[in-house]
Every structure is written in C-alpha cells, then in structure tokens.
Amino acid sequence: MMVFSEDRRVPEVRHCKQCGRPIPLGIDECPDCRLHGSAFLLLPKEVLIGAIVVVLVLSFFAVGRATRAFHAKEQAWAESWFERGENDLKSKQPEAAIEAFRTALKYSPDNSLFQLRLAQALISAHRTVEARSYLLNLWEREPENGPVNRELGLLAAEEGNVADAIRYYENAIYGVWDIPDEDRRRALRLEVYRYLRARGATAQAEAELMAMSGEAPRDARAHVQIGEFLLQDGYYNHALKGRSRGDAISNDPIF
C-alpha cells in the first residue's frame, strides 16, 4: 500500500496596509481599522449634522478672510503702480506712465480714474487713437464726467472738429467734477473762447464771453477779465459795459 505525505504549509500572515497590524485568518479587513473608521458613523445624526455645519461655517469664514486679504493686496498694488504712473506723467515720461497705469489697471480694471490717467498719458505720447478709445469708453459709462469731456473736447479741437469740441466742452463746463469750482468753469469757457477766436468764429467766441458774464453776476474780477478780452477783440461797447460792471461790483459796500 502506498502512503502519501501531506504537505502542511503555514498560512502566510497578512498585515493591514494602514496600521500594520496582522489580520486574523478568515476575515478580509483589519478589525481595528474598521472599528475606528466606523466610529464616526455611529454618532447620532444631530451630532453629525452639527459637525458638518461647523466645518462649513469655518470654511466660509476662512475663504472670505483669504479673499478680502487678497483683494486688499491687489488694491495696494494698484495704488502703488498708479502713484508711479502719476510721477512719470509729471516728469514728462509718458511711455513709462502708460506702462505703470496699465499695470495698475490689471489689479483694478474698472477704476475710472486709472483709465482717465492712462488716456492722458497716451495723449502725451501722441497716441491719440488709443487715448480716444479709452475716453469714449469712459464717456459711455459716465457721459457727465467733466474731466473726460474736457479731454475729448481737446482732442476734437486739435482735429479741427469745432462742433464736437464745443459739445464736449459744454458737457465739461456743466459736468461732474470731484470738487465744484466756478473758477474752473470760467477757465473752460475761456479755453473755448480762445479756440473759437483762433478758428475765426468771432460770434461764437463772443457768445462764450457773454455766457461767462451771466454765470458770474457778482464776480468783479470775472467782469473785468471779460471786458479786457472784449476790448482786445474790438468789441468796445461790450468791453466798456464789462469793465463798468466790474467796477460797480468792486465799489459796492455789500461786497
């Protein structure tokens, strides 16, 4: 009779990939890891919901704080580049100012003042086509913007477009400025007056002076100045009235 020997091999011990402990024979998962992993799931439903809400709220505040910090940093960068552009523009370096203002706009793309300064720098660099594009974009958003209308008026005047020059200047005269200033309004009318005189439009030029006189009824200096301009242009009767009006206001004890 033949006897077969039985091959008795010791089973290989398996270890948990997470904790490294041996896994008993007959089961597929580590009992320790399964117990710990399911402990959270054994908590009451109300506790689980509360924990999730707390995590979400904390995450919301953390994200909000990080976002505010990032925007504050962006604003600081924008202001820094804008200040650099202002200095470049004052130093007669328009190309450097253009780059600085463009960089500022990368961090604050909707800033109207930054766009206006960029347009002014482009004008200084004789890049009027680009400047007009920025100015018209600003004008469409803020048609009552005084500085924007003045820049458009200057461009139109340089191109010999009298109608547009007067239209934009009128908008600037009655437009919105950061600080209301009657002297500025008078200065704008004088710019229009000089432009019209240079173009030979004497009747329109005189009308601007008359409008300026009407807007400064109790300003002696303005009336004297208007009288001097009228005198230079040969309007002697109007000039005399202007000077007389200015003298009368100056001698009025109330003023």
The verdict on residue 16 lying in a domain is no
**pLDDT for res 9:** 59
Tens digit of pLDDT for each residue in 156-196? 999 999 999 999 999 999 999 988 787 888 889 889 988 99
Domain count across the chain = 1
User: CA 155 to CA 161: how far, in whole Å?
Assistant: 9
Residue 222 has pLDDT above 70, yes or no: no
Residue 217: burial class (beta carbons within 10 Å; 0-12, 13-18, 19+): exposed
In this structure, is residue 186 part of a structural domain?
no
**What is the identity of the amino acid at 78?**
A
pLDDT band for 255, please (50, 70, 90 cuts). very low
Confidence at residue 241, expressed as pLDDT on a 0 to 100 scale: 56
Provide φ and ψ at 120, rounded to 5°: -65, -35
Report the alpha-carbon distance of residue 55 to residue 236 in Å, rounded: 84
| Residue 133 lies in domain | 78-180
* Contact status, residue 23 vs residue 29, Cβ threshold 8 Å: yes
Q: For position 113, which CATH number holds?
A: 1.25.40.10
Residue 44 lies in a domain: no
Position 252 scores a pLDDT of: 47
